[in-house]
Structure 1
Amino acid sequence: MPALRASLVALIPLLLHLTTSTQDDLHYVNPLIGSTAGGNVFAGASLPYGLAKPVADVDGQNTGGFATDGSNVTGFSHMHDSGTGGNPSMGQFPLFPQYCPDNVIDNCKFPKGARATHYVNDSVTARPGYFALELVNGIKAEMTAARRTALYRFTFPDASAENGERLDPLILLDLTDLWDSRQNASITIDADSGRIQGNGTFLPSFGAGSYQAYFCADFAGAKVCDSGIWVNDRAGSEPKELFVTRGFNNFYLQAGGYISFDRPNNGMVTVRVGVSYISTDQACSNAESEVSDPLNDFETLEEAARTAWREKLSPIKITPGGVSHGSLSAFWSGIYRTMLSPQEMTGENPLWESDEPYFDSFYCLWDEFRAQLPLLTVIDPQAQSKMVRSLLDTFKHEGWLPDCRMSLCKGWTQGGSNADVVLADAYVKNLTGIDWELAYKAMVNDAENEPLEWSYEGRGGLQSWKKLHYIPYLDFDYLGFGTNSRSVSRTVEYAYNDHGIALVGKGLGTTDYMTYLSRASNWKNLFKADQKSFLENGTDTGFTGFLQPRHLNGTWGFQDPIACSALASWCSLTSNPSETFESSIWEYLFFVPHDMASLIKLLGGSDSFVKRLDYFHTSGLADISNEPVFLTVYEYHYAGRPALSAQRAHSYIPRTFNESNNGLPGNDDSGAMGSFLAWSMMGLFPNPGQNVYLISPPFFEAVEITHPETNKTATIRNTNFDSTYQNIYIQSAKLNGKPYTKNWIDHEFFTEGMTLELMLGDKESNWGTSKEDLPPSLSDVLAQDEVQ
């Protein structure tokens, strides 16, 4: 018996491992993380990459539709983006339920400002595939989603007028969007069926041009009493159709349609809204095919959504090792948000005919290429491959790879042509199904041909780039037109874009790849060795040598290295445009992902580099709320100090990333912030566009990732792990049972299902510190090629 008891005791750790690593992790997902304090997440119901995204829209922080900021609900709309900046995105054709005093139609509150109603704070429920809240007037709203259809249930409490007459529920539909960008719209109402159809022309929230969206709304569960249209604060049952323009002299005309009902005994009115970018007929067809029985399909749709999300999360399994529920919630929610956008819109693209996939809401690649898309390459490679094919199909039909795209429109380019990095990343990680000859053609087009309008495609300043080997301050560029700023940040990004082109070109055996490899070093031409940096109070930071703007004639301009940092003023395309975009010269100096060895040498060697990187992260100059900072957290690896990368990651998590509603340091940016958190907690961080993952200890006892195509499981396991994070330094490592000293690993770790065992301790060790253990750099690779 003692022997049996001992055997059972020995099995307990294994059983606990199986239980904790195979349970349904979907319950950890909290869509409300980042729903206030500028996270701008989409908190509503959606399928993975789904087009239909219903949620409550508020008049507060409404970039993603809803926010937990206690503001007022102005409607419930059907399409949104997640985590974006710029203007609020989409949110077209919102519904709004209400009772009208005395059942008098003109007593209803139609305009957005008049109808705005507080929600009950503790009534908000958000989980994958479901969103609900209750308005302070007692009306409850629930919603779920199919791929291109939103399904709502509005429950009206019993209510009576002062004369005792029972009030009739009314639901209006507003021909507007979140930021009132509508240019024109139309609506028709079928008096017999109560079906409302319509369309509108709107502006993209961060781009050029306009787009048309279509809807088809059907009501069920209650008898229709009346229907009609409304304009401003008046309405009538005749006519049953309306065309509306923007309004005279910028006066925004508010208008839409309405349906009133005989309140059913359960008070519930169901609304099915199909959406489309093709036509109202297709919107109706989408709704009818996806939700054939609105009254009975709600729970079925919600469970289908949960099943779809469960499948998408299934490649990852965690052994927590005592980590808190909050940490697990932050982790899984971050991964969840990486699959809200881009949105899969195959069959919904009216711009060209193609058999290729079409994805939209790349908002923007400048944000997504750093962590989000590399994460999808590991956990959802089929979707990532389709996204790359979509980018290439856009090039094929529109002539340029997009750098940003939303709602069928070209979005503003923030830096370089960063689709090149996305393609390079896909190439070095062997994503399948991609026409690489077409991909290389598209990348070379970015590098060689300047478009007339480079604000939203391609690159500007190519004449100077090829001749001077940098983008000049106040460049004389007569070939194309764009915002003549960002000369420093564009230079470093163009250099990395060209490195990606060189990688793909070399792999394909082209003869011109060396041209792009040489351009990859152009960032050095803006390095001013004697440039100092001072804080705003005049204190010398103690560091010399920074990037600086440079004129056409080669003389130096000046931008304060701390300008555009978290210690100074914000710099964007339109607000304080500068020679760096949304970040400082301090931060952009560290953006040499392909040749960190050269950068470290330029800055005085490893010790000097580490001191500068430490100062950057501890002085307030580092802006963890924006994507350019991501890789800097892990660049200690290149200086032979991987322990400091782990230490830095723990300084940001959970201080600025956690499970609260304000648990993001800034815009989620289509899942970029969530993916940074997920990578960091899994213990690997990608250098995107290269076959390199930097190793640090996971925030859990173990992480398993099963590759969806090879079906092989990669494992990272900590020994001496403690959930209080005293032991965060790698002492030694084994790969597939053999000693492993490199502080990085390649993509084959995932595709071949390797096992990485990390021995942890509470002090920095010499693991991963030798020169031969460092990640590859361009200058080292070139030097080796010369020797050979």
Structure 2
Amino acid sequence: MNMLMRLSSLVLFSSLCLLSRGQDSLIRYVDPFIGTGGHGHTFPGAAVPFGMVQLSPDNGRSGWDWCSGYHYSDSLIAGFSHTHLSGTGIGDWLDISVMPLTAPLADTTQGIKIRFSHDNEYASPGYYRVTMDNGIRAELTATARCGYHRYTYPQGATPTIRLDLAFHLNWDTPTETHVTILNDSTLVGYRYSTGWAHVQRVYFAARTSSAFTKTILNDGHSASDMSDMAETYDKGKGVSAQLIFNEHHGHIIELKVALSSTSYDKALQALNEIPSWDFARTRKSAADQWENELRKVTISTNNDALKRVFYTALYHTAIAPTLYSDADGEYQNAHGDVHTMPGGTSRYTLFSLWDTFRALKPLFTLTQPERYTDMLNSMLAFYDENGLLPVWDLSTWETNTMTGYHAIPVLADAILKEWPGLDAERAYEAMIKSAHQDIRGVPDYIQYGYLPQDKAGGSVTVTLEYAYDDWCIAQVAKKLGKTADHATFMNRAKSYAQLFDPGTGFMRAKNSDGQFVEPFDPFWSEHDFDKAQYIEGNAWQHSFFVPHDVAGLAALYGSNKALGKKLDELFTAPSVMHGENISPDASGFIGQYAHGNEPSHHIAYMYNYIGEPWKTQERVRQIVDSMYHDKPDGYAGNEDAGQMSAWAVWSIGGLYPVNPAAGEYVFGSPSADKTTFSLPNGRQFTISAQNNSDRNIYIQSATLNGKPYENLYIRHQDILEGGELVFKMGPKPNKRFGRNPETWPGGEGNW
């Protein structure tokens, strides 16, 4: 009977897919398990693009590789929770855990883990399914604020659903939880917790498709009829509730769980996102949303593995930031204040800005016209509520994780691209405030012209990143006619030069006396941020972060040729790191290039700035081929909320935003034969690679809309005009292409 039901379900959904999208559906190339192995830290469960709900299995194990709650190496499931972080290096969330059981637990506080096999597991965008070893088949799908569970119980089971608000892993700990049974099919409550974000509040409402006949709360209270059950509640640090249903062979019980940041009344309203008990329709709606997302950037290639890598990467670029406000724009922030976004717009959270300012946010200016304004204004709402722009916003709490003030390049990029719905003056005010904050080493950075290592950790990383952010401020100041500010911040943007050591060819930490910190080892890595001179890496990986002034960096080396030689050494140096507390984030090595962490992401493209573009073409193709594949460990390091994937989307297409606020995309070596951007203005921009192959990795020549094109980059505005950029590829470098300095990126308007 169960096998027939499975086949019926598959046939029904396959038919729906074929009817709605045709046989060229792109979601079939997305594998949500990519990144769940290795150190990718992604989750395989169900979500819609940027949804508040990410309904996914948790293994019940703490540890770095379980930051998302799930790791492919595991064989146990502890529950299905409704909030997850995608690809981060710190574990949090995992709110409102639900677990189907074949019988109620005698010990209501008992943790439970059930075995499963990957052979009985399946996932696609917006859908997850597993048959656990106890015979229960769990299917999950979602809308923006509501998770939809479908549980099929085996013969002889006493169908039970356990709601466990005590469930937590890694950094997260519940501080107050509450559940109220409203009637025989509805319960509401909340879960307050502390963790990486010190204050988190999640309200929920849950409704079952069948009436439960008994409830057991972990305060020992049990209700067995409707009169006893009404308004039963429990409150404490770890409330659990078991819902018991009549025994029935092959019984299917469905459950909807809606979330809100403000109240369970709003969560009850959010249940209406799924008005009927039609799992197939909800699943189809989620799949259709993902299909539309994947249609924004499409590729042509005969390599199905490359398609799986590309479309899974594109999928991962649309997970975070996540929706935080209710349907009417109302939300409760970490301070406990309730606000409403103007005009019914949405508030977002989970801004991993140290990672995503580099490639993900520039990609959004081409792929997210409907949402990006709200994301930008969410950052400004954070500023209004906290006095500074976010560094790493989680549940509207400032985690202050990582370095730089990288909301600035995101806002600068949007202002310089004249993004609609963003108040440039208001954003500029916030940028100036962040650049003059009295924490995070900024006063010492301003006083000394660099951040002294004896004043705070991360001297090199912080100085170089602040210098870049200051360049971004300068460009906005110029656009807004603020001449004095432009001069000030252009001067601050040169701070990187203070730390260059011509004797070693590296950026080195200095103390407040102006002396380099000794001893020096370019392979040395220290993960303790207070002690580290280079955050999550070493001198090799951090010395080249000058995306706003590569010409100035080359001048410090003495010539373009000398900088090119140093870049060559980076890719051929021994792939070793020294130290007693080496950062695990530096991974995916080619020489000392570490693709598994973000500081390296722009480096392969730097050859374009010094007249050696064929080396960029060589290295980019090598990175795509070696650092991405279509297995669970298909990422070289943490996926980092979309950044690792955004690099792949850009680079497989043949471009990359080396300076993410410059409005120019630098050429690499396209792996796809054709990449098409469906643009916000209704036009299309296509990148075609003629004679493309695994051997033909070098650009011989280029045309734009049929005319010879000599530049090694293309501007954002040129892409918005639509048209076709054609690369003629070949097996050997054409060193004449890009030889003229006037064709190099980073020239006009930068210095």
TM-score (norm 2): 0.88
Pick from 201, 208, 213: which aligns with 2:192?
Answer: 201
1:264 corresponds to 2:261: no
Give the one of 372, 393, 396 matched to 2:360: 372
305 and 400 in structure 1: CA distance in 2 versus 1, 3 angstrom threshold: same
CA 32–359 in structure 1, closer or farther in 2 if over 3 Å, else same: farther
Equivalent residue number for residue 669 of structure 1: 640
The CA deviation at 1:141 is: 0.4
Computing the radius of gyration from Cα coordinates, the structure with the larger value is 1
State the match for 2:234 in structure 1: 242
- 2:107 equivalent to 1:90: no
- Match of 1:300, SS state, is helix
1:589 to 543, 552, 557: 543
Give CA deviations for 1:501-540 in whole Å, capped at 9, x if unaligned.
000010011132110011100111111222xxxxxxxxxx
Which residue of structure 2 lines up, in the alignment, with residue 125 of structure 1?
A: 122
Q: Following superposition of structure 1 onto structure 2, how do residues 753-772 of structure 1 map, counting pairs within 5 Å?
A: 753-765=722-734, 766-772=736-742
- Aligned to 2:383, what secondary structure does the other structure show? helix
Equivalent position of 2:12 in the other structure: none
Identity across matched positions, percent: 29
The one-letter code of the counterpart of 1:213 is: V
1:28 is matched with 29
| Aligned residue number for residue 174 of structure 2 | 182
The alignment partner of 1:224 has SS state of coil
Q: Distance in 1 between matches of 2:710 and 2:213?
A: 75
Cα offset, 1:84, TM superposition: 1.1
Equivalent residue for 2:10?
A: none
**1:629 matches 2:600:** yes
Call closer, same or farther: CA 1:345–1:408 in 2, change over 3 Å.
Answer: same
**Is 1:273 aligned to residue 257 of structure 2?**
yes
Whether 1:726 aligns to 2:708 is no
Number of aligned residues? 691
Say if 1:363 and 1:669, in contact at 8 Å, map to a contact too: no
| Alpha-carbon distance in structure 1 between the residues aligned to 2:493 and 2:623 | 31
The letter of the residue matching 1:196 is L
What letter corresponds to residue 340 of structure 2 in structure 1? Answer: S
CA distance in 2: counterparts of 1:383 and 1:338, whole angstroms: 13
Query: Within the alignment, does 1:689 sit opposite 2:689 as a pair?
Result: no
Q: Are positions 1:774 and 2:728 aligned together?
A: no
Output one character per residue of 1:732-786: Cα deviation in whole Å (capped at 9) or x when no partner: 11112111111111101221003211111111112112211111248x954xxxx
8 Å contact kept, 2:685–2:719: yes
* Cα pair distance change 1:781/1:46, threshold 3 Å: closer
**CA shift for structure 1 position 39:** 0.7
CA distance in 2, matches of 1:447, 1:523: 16
Over the aligned positions, Cα root-mean-square deviation in angstroms equals: 2.1
Q: Which residue of structure 2 lines up, in the alignment, with residue 111 of structure 1?
A: 110
Q: Deviations over 1:183-234 (max 9, x none)?
A: 12112224x42322211211243x4x3121111111113x423102026xx7
Task: Pick closer, same or farther for the CA change 1:65–1:594 going to 2, 3 Å.
Answer: same
The residue number in structure 2 matching 1:502 is 474
Distance 2:266 2:520 in 1: 54
1:363 Cα deviation after fit: 4.0
Contact 1:697–1:758 under 8 Å retained in 2? no
Q: In the TM superposition, what are the counterparts of 1:261-340 in structure 2 within 5 Å?
A: 261-287=245-271, 289-294=272-277, 297-320=278-301, 322=302, 324-340=303-319
CA distance in 2, matches of 1:600, 1:551: 25
Q: Which residue of 2 aligns with 1:49?
A: 50
Map 1:200-599; keep pairs closer than 5 Å: 200-205=191-196, 207=197, 209-221=198-210, 223-230=211-218, 236-237=222-223, 240-245=232-237, 254-287=238-271, 289-294=272-277, 297-320=278-301, 322=302, 324-346=303-325, 347-351=329-333, 352-356=338-342, 357-450=345-438, 454=439, 460-475=440-455, 484-511=456-483, 512-530=485-503, 544-558=504-518, 560-563=520-523, 569=525, 571-573=527-529, 577-599=531-553
Per-residue deviation, 1:671:
1.0
Deviation at 1:109, TM superposition (A): 7.2
Structure 1 contact 132–140 (Cα < 8 Å) conserved: yes
Deviation at 1:33, TM superposition (A): 0.5
* Counterpart in the other structure of 1:785: none
Pairwise CA distance, 1:42: 2.3
AA aligned opposite 1:80: H
Q: What secondary structure, in the 3-state scheme, does the structure 1 residue paired with 2:641 have? A: coil
Q: CA deviation at 1:412?
A: 1.9
Distance 1:241 1:514, change over 3 A: same
Give the counterpart letter for 2:203 in structure 1: Y
Task: Give the alignment of 1:606-625 within 5 angstroms.
Answer: 606-619=560-573, 620=575, 621-625=592-596
Question: Whole-Å Cα distance in 1 between the matches of residues 127 and 330 of structure 2?
Answer: 24
Measured after TM superposition, the shift of residue 658 of structure 1 is: 0.8
Q: Deviations over 1:247-302 (max 9, x none)?
A: xxxxxxx5411111113343211111111111111111111x111223xx211111
**Shift in Å at residue 697 of structure 1?**
3.0
AA at the equivalent of 2:45: G
Moved more, 552-561 or 131-140: 552-561
1:93, 1:175 within 8 Å by CA — same for their partners in 2?
A: yes
Contact kept? 1:34, 1:663, Cα under 8 Å: yes
Q: 2: distance between equivalents of 1:226 and 1:776?
A: 68
Distance in 2, matches of 1:204 and 1:341, equals 19
Equivalent position of 2:15 in the other structure: none
Q: 1:196 to 1:681 in 2, by over 3 A?
A: same
Contact 1:81 1:361 in 2 (8 A): no
